[in-house]
C-alpha cells in the first residue's frame, strides 16, 4: 500500500445554507393616486367639451364668393351647424365646395367658441368666349368655368365662327379656341392689349385693339412672328392705334397699314 492511501480522511459537517429573502416592491400609492386623479379629470374634461352646448357651431362666416353659386356654398357650409366645434369635420365641406367650377381654392377653420369660417378663392378669367348661348369665362389652360350674360370691360372677348358649345367645368378642345388662347398669351407676353379676337370659318384671325383699329393676321400660322411685327410697328408709331384703320400682317414679308379715312369737311 502506498503512503498516500494510509492517510486518514477527514469529514466536515455541512452547515445549512441561509436563504436571503428578496426585496419586495412596495406600491407607490401617491403615484397611483395622481394617475387616477389625472385620468378622472381628463375624462371629465373630454365629456364637458363633447357635451357642452356652448361649443355647438351656430354660424359659418363665408368670404370670397362672387361668381360661384352662393346658395350651393351656404348649403355645404350649413352641414357644420349644430355640431361640436371640436368634432366637426371640415374635409367633406371643403370637398363639396371645391367641386364648383368657379372655385380654385377653399380653406376652412374654427373661431372658438361656436363659429367657423370658410374662405373661397375663385378663378380669374383669361378671356370670354362669345357665343349665341351666352358668354363664358375661360382660363389660359382652356378650362371654361362660368357663364355670364355680358362680358366685363377688362377681359378680352373671343369670337369663333364655329357654333361651339361650352360647358362650365370642361376644357375646350377645338383648334380655333386653342389658337385664340395661345394668341392671347403671346399678346400679353409682348405687352399688347387686345380687346377682341375673331376667327372666321376659314381660320383667318382678326384682332381688335380699340378705337376700331383692326389687325389682320390671316391664317393661324407663324403667330409669334406676326405678333413681333405688330409690336415693332406699334413701337415705331404709337399713334397707329388711334390714327390707323387697320394693319395687315397676313403676309409677314409685306406688312401694310391704312390710316382712317379723313372726315369730310363741313
d(CA 183, CA 249): 14
User: Quick one: average pLDDT of 102-120?
Assistant: 96
The pTM score is 0.79
pLDDT band at residue 263 using 50, 70 and 90 as cut-offs: very low
User: Quick one: average pLDDT of 23-44?
Assistant: 82
Domains and CATH numbers, the chain: 53-122 (3.10.20), 127-259 (3.40.50.10960)
Q: Say yes or no to pLDDT of 19 above 80.
A: no
Q: Say yes or no to pLDDT of 12 above 60.
A: no
d(CA 27, CA 48): 32
Q: In the structure grid, which three cell numbers stand for residue 112, read together?
A: 372658438
Q: In the structure grid, which three cell numbers stand for residue 229, read together?
A: 411685327
Instruction: Give the pLDDT of residue 51.
Output: 76
User: Quick one: average pLDDT of 230-238?
Assistant: 91
Measuring CA to CA, how many Å separate 256 from each of 124, 192, 200, 233, 248? Answer: 36, 19, 21, 10, 5
Amino acid at each position: 500500500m502506498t503512503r498516500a492511501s494510509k492517510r486518514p480522511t477527514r469529514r466536515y459537517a455541512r452547515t445549512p445554507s441561509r436563504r436571503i429573502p428578496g426585496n419586495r416592491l412596495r406600491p407607490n400609492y401617491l403615484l397611483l393616486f395622481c394617475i387616477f386623479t389625472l385620468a378622472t379629470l381628463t375624462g371629465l374634461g373630454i365629456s364637458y367639451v363633447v357635451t357642452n352646448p356652448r361649443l355647438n357651431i351656430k354660424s359659418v362666416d363665408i368670404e370670397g364668393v362672387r361668381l360661384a353659386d352662393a346658395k350651393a356654398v351656404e348649403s355645404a357650409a350649413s352641414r357644420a351647424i349644430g355640431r361640436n366645434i371640436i368634432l366637426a369635420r371640415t374635409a367633406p365641406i371643403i370637398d363639396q365646395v371645391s367641386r364648383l367650377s368657379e372655385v380654385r381654392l377653399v380653406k376652412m377653420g374654427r373661431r372658438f367658441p361656436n363659429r367657423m369660417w370658410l374662405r373661397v378663392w375663385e378663378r380669374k378669367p383669361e378671356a370670354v368666349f362669345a357665343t349665341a348661348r351666352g358668354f363664358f369665362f375661360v382660363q389660359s389652360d382652356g378650362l371654361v368655368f362660368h357663364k355670364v350674360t355680358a362680358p366685363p370691360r377688362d377681359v378680352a372677348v373671343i369670337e369663333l365662327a364655329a357654333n361651339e358649345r361650352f360647358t362650365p367645368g370642361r376644357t375646350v378642345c377645338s383648334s380655333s379656341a386653342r389658337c385664340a388662347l395661345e394668341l392671347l398669351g403671346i399678346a400679353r407676353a409682348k405687352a399688347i392689349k387686345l380687346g377682341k379676337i375673331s376667327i372666321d370659318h376659314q381660320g383667318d384671325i382678326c384682332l381688335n385693339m380699340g378705337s376700331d383699329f383692326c389687325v389682320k393676321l390671316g391664317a393661324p400660322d407663324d403667330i409669334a412672328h406676326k405678333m413681333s411685327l405688330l409690336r415693332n410697328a406699334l413701337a415705331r408709331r404709337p399713334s397707329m392705334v388711334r390714327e390707323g384703320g387697320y394693319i395687315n400682317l397676313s403676309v409677314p414679308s409685306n406688312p401694310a397699314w391704312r390710316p382712317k379715312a379723313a372726315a369730310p369737311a363741313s
